[in-house]
């Protein structure tokens, strides 16, 4: 499956991700991503997490806030940080990992007089759990 076709398929599945909470939608997004060819997973997962944020943030959604911030790991991975101390990593081979946002990364910061931003994140996969197809 080429990337364009994969993303078109993801767009068609948008109604399939809708659920009563951001956490349930995330669970569906993980399952959908694991069913996708490894080379397409990072881009698909980013698309799906953006969709979850949009659904949860919609006026009168009635859902509790849910956030996700995407970063690039020093090894080329894509890191998706949530607001509750958990992250999901798509490694360069397309494997998905569950990580603790602070403990499972070597993180550097850029600190100014008005902000503290992440400068780099190096995943430590030996501390993470890999997601696999059930």
Place of tokens 């070597």: 106
Residues 6+ positions from 24 with CB-CB distance below 8 Å: none
This prediction has a pTM of: 0.84
Residues 6 or more apart whose CB falls under 8 angstroms from that of 34 comprise: 41, 96, 131, 132, 133
What are the pLDDT digits (tens) for 27-82? 999 999 999 999 999 999 999 999 999 999 888 888 888 889 999 999 999 999 98
């Amino acid at each position: 499956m080429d990337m364009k076709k994969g993303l078109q398929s993801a767009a068609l599945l948008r109604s399939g991700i809708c659920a009563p909470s951001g956490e349930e939608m995330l669970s569906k997004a993980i399952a959908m991503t694991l069913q996708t060819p490894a080379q397409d997973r990072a881009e698909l997962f980013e698309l799906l997490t953006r969709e979850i944020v949009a659904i949860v943030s919609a006026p009168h959604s009635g859902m509790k806030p849910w956030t996700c911030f995407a970063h690039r790991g020093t090894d080329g991975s894509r890191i998706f940080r949530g607001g509750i101390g958990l992250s999901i990593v798509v490694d360069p081979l397309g494997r998905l990992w569950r990580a603790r946002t602070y403990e499972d990364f070597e993180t550097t910061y850029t600190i100014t007089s008005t902000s503290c931003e992440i400068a780099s994140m190096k995943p430590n996969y030996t501390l993470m759990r890999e997601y696999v197809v059930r």
